[in-house]
């Protein structure tokens, strides 16, 4: 059974073993107080990184061919071990991020929930994409060979921890969970802002590897500078794909490094999004105070440090829009700033807000109060016109934190023009009533080209982990708009198709054998064949 975690060591975990780094040390900080947190974490050097990637390569053959039940049980054991870490995990995450206990408890539940969801995906096996075209030796004018296809893991994957989700987008988060579910060993680079949280979670994974008797190279946790160790990890020949959540500059640097390799590899980077919200006239005929409260809550939740925080809101010009802006001012004036994740993030937010407020044609709509801790600046909403927005690229830049820009538009044509000028986004939101459908309809094809998720009469913050979710979008929201980093479709990033032509049954892998020993649903001669043999 999983056990309570031990005292923090301050070291990387390479192939199941503590690995004191040889490249210096770094500490976490409590952003609420700016106090240094112990222990100091030792940073690995290039030689130790090579040990981790070599172990991942050595683990690939056995891990990529696990039977579904063992594979699923491994993912479930990780979830069990994370839960067994108990209060220690939550307390350390609170100290390192300034996030409240309830938020982190929910994030832990999301982390373990997605691991168990992927376990169910592994047992079902549809992600293996089995297709069989039986031989047709009598076909004229040419016979058809026996051709079978399945998806196989791409190889060891490098995953980078995110600053804003120390659990759900970190050590055992969506990128790691989907890569492990695909059958890919993972070398995880911890985010230096929450090293202790990463170590506790990393132990949960390493213990699961040991408990299931898997090759220890299935998972390694490393600490090191992103500018050196991070770049070296992406360019290591053993690594075949990368998962990243962070800044546009960080993501594009990794993309460039991966593209420059002798063997280029894909980087699945989630980067920058301002998540526009579009209000139509009908929506503002209702309770504008409730709408303003919901908007402010979405902007300020987790100090605005969510990848889906609404950084833009388009509001009609005129009396209805004026009432909404006044309601936002009333609500936000009573809101206090929350502790941001790091002092550096708070400094960047302050610089971004100062730059936004200094732009011609931009004015302050509302400002809250500074929070009672360090690094808790007052949230802010600014306002401008469509013309100003279209003429100033500064207004299109993400400010990571509790800030938003309200844009007043005079016509549906103006709104569509502004939407066409947006960069790629994770989300786009419509607030409307049935009376607005005809006006909103022409906007939808525009937004389909701009965003990975379009929602109505809600708020983009809060991402459901399920089968239909898309958490991705055109650049710079992500580096590859064909993928998602949340939901079961995320597994597709770490798979590739292989076809087997006229291979004897005795040599075929289990998923494509006639006997179907893993009981998978398969596409046989273009028809769906269920595991029981029915079509």
* 530 domain-assigned: no
295 contacts 328 by C-beta, under 8 angstroms: yes
Q: What pairing do the DSSP bridges indicate for beta strands 425-431 and 276-279? A: parallel
Same domain, 240 and 379: no
In the 8-state DSSP scheme, what is residue 442? T
Same domain, 172 and 259: yes
Catalytic residue among 76, 96, 199, 270: 270
Same domain, 255 and 287: no
Residue finishing a domain among 401, 435, 456 = 456
Establish whether 417 is a catalytic residue.
no
Same domain, 236 and 252: yes
Strand, helix or coil for residue 418: helix
* 535 domain-assigned: no
* 353 domain-assigned: yes
* 1 domain-assigned: no
Cite the beta strand spans of 135-178 per DSSP E. Answer: 147-153, 157-160
> Rounded to an integer, what distance in angstroms lies between the CA atom of residue 354 and that of residue 335?
19
Q: Is 155 left (phi over 0), alpha (psi -120 to 50) or beta?
A: left
Same domain, 139 and 198: yes
471 contacts 484 by C-beta, under 8 angstroms: yes
Same domain, 259 and 360: no
* 7 domain-assigned: no
* 311 domain-assigned: yes
Query: What stretch of H or E contains 172?
Result: none
Same domain, 62 and 181: yes
486 contacts 463 by C-beta, under 8 angstroms: yes
Cα angle value 309/493/487 (rounded, 5°): 45
Same domain, 143 and 252: yes
Establish whether 184 is a catalytic residue.
no
HSE value, Cβ hemisphere, 13 Å, CA-based, for 207:
22
Same domain, 88 and 197: yes
Taking only the tens of pLDDT, the chain with its 535 residues reads 444 445 899 999 999 999 999 999 999 999 999 999 999 999 999 999 999 999 999 999 999 999 999 999 999 999 999 999 999 999 999 999 999 999 999 999 999 999 999 999 999 999 999 999 999 999 999 999 999 999 999 999 999 999 999 999 999 999 999 999 999 999 999 999 999 999 999 999 999 999 999 999 999 999 998 889 999 999 999 999 999 999 999 999 999 999 999 999 999 999 999 999 999 999 999 999 999 999 999 999 999 999 999 999 999 999 999 999 999 999 999 999 999 999 999 999 999 999 999 999 999 999 999 999 999 999 999 999 999 999 999 999 999 999 999 999 999 999 999 999 999 999 999 999 999 999 999 999 999 999 999 999 999 999 999 999 999 999 999 999 999 999 999 999 999 999 999 999 999 999 999 999 999 999 999 999 998 765 5
Burial of 287 by CB count in 10 Å (0-12 exposed, 13-18 middle, 19+ buried)? exposed
Catalytic residue among 76, 107, 307, 398: 307
Cite the beta strand spans of 118-178 per DSSP E. Answer: 131-133, 147-153, 157-160
Same domain, 257 and 332: no
In the chain, the number of structural domains is 2
> Rounded to an integer, what distance in angstroms lies between the CA atom of residue 466 and that of residue 103?
20
User: What is the torsional sign of CA 197, 93, 347, 271?
Assistant: positive
207 contacts 200 by C-beta, under 8 angstroms: no
* 529 domain-assigned: no
* 295 domain-assigned: yes
Same domain, 140 and 160: yes
Question: Residue 27 maps to which CATH number?
Answer: 3.40.605.10
Same domain, 352 and 384: yes
Bridge partners of 189, per DSSP, are 160, 222
Nearest partner of 176 among 158, 164, 151, 194, judged by Cα: 158
Cite the beta strand spans of 432-524 per DSSP E. Answer: 451-456, 495-501, 522-524
Strand, helix or coil for residue 497: strand
Range of the structural domain that residue 392 is part of: 276-456
Burial of 127 by CB count in 10 Å (0-12 exposed, 13-18 middle, 19+ buried)? buried
Question: Residue 323 maps to which CATH number?
Answer: 3.40.309.10
pLDDT in tens, 396-423: 999 999 999 999 999 999 999 999 999 9
């Amino acid at each position: 059974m999983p056990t309570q975690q031990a005292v923090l060591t301050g070291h990387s975990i390479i192939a199941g073993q503590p690995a004191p780094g040889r490249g210096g040390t770094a500490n976490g900080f409590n952003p609420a107080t700016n106090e240094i947190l112990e222990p100091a974490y030792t940073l690995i050097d290039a030689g130790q990184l090579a040990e981790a990637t070599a172990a991942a390569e050595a683990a690939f053959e056995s891990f990529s061919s696990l039977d579904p039940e063992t594979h699923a049980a491994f993912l479930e054991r990780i979830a069990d071990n994370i839960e067994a870490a108990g209060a220690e995990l939550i307390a350390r995450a609170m100290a390192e991020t300034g996030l409240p206990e309830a938020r982190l408890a929910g994030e832990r539940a999301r982390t373990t929930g997605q691991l168990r969801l992927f376990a169910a995906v592994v047992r079902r096996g549809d992600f293996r994409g089995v297709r069989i075209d039986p031989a047709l030796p009598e076909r004229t004018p040419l016979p058809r060979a026996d051709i079978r296809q399945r998806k196989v893991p791409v190889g060891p994957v490098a995953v980078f921890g995110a600053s804003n989700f120390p659990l759900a987008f970190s050590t055992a988060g969506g990128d790691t969970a989907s890569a492990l579910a695909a059958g890919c060993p993972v070398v995880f680079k911890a985010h230096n802002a929450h090293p202790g949280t990463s170590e506790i979670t990393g132990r949960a994974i390493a213990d699961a590897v040991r408990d299931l008797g898997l090759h220890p190279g299935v998972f390694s946790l490393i600490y090191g500078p992103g500018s050196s160790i991070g770049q070296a990890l992406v360019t290591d020949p053993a690594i075949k794909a990368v998962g990243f959540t962070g800044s546009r500059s960080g993501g594009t640097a990794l993309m460039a490094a991966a593209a420059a390799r002798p063997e280029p590899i894909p980087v699945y980077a989630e980067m920058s999004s301002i998540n526009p919200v579009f209000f139509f006239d009908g929506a503002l005929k209702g309770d504008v105070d409730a709408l303003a409260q919901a908007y402010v809550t979405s902007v300020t939740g987790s100090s605005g440090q969510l990848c889906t925080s609404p950084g833009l809101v388009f509001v009609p010009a005129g009396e209805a829009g004026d009432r909404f802006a006044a309601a936002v001012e009333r609500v936000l004036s009573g809101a206090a700033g929350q502790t941001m994740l790091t002092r550096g993030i708070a400094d960047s937010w302050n610089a971004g807000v100062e730059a936004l407020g200094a732009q011609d044609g931009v004015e302050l709509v509302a400002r809250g109060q500074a929070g009672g801790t360090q690094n808790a600046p007052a949230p802010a909403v600014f306002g401008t016109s469509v013309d100003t927005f279209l003429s100033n690229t500064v207004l299109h830049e993400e400010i990571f934190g509790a800030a938003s820009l309200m844009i007043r538009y005079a016509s549906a044509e103006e709104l569509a023009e502004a939407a066409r000028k947006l960069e790629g986004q994770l989300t786009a939101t419509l607030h409307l009533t049935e009376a607005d459908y005809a006006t909103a309809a022409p906007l939808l094809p525009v937004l389909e080209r701009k965003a990975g998720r379009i929602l109505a009469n809600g708020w983009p913050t809060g991402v459901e982990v399920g089968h239909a979710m898309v958490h991705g979008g055109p650049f710079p929201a992500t580096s590859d708009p064909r993928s998602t980093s949340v939901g079961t479709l995320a597994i597709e990033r770490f798979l590739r198709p292989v076809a087997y032509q006229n291979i004897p049954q005795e040599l075929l892998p289990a998923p494509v054998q006639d006997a179907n020993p893993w009981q998978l649903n398969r596409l046989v001669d273009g028809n769906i064949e269920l595991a029981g043999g029915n079509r």
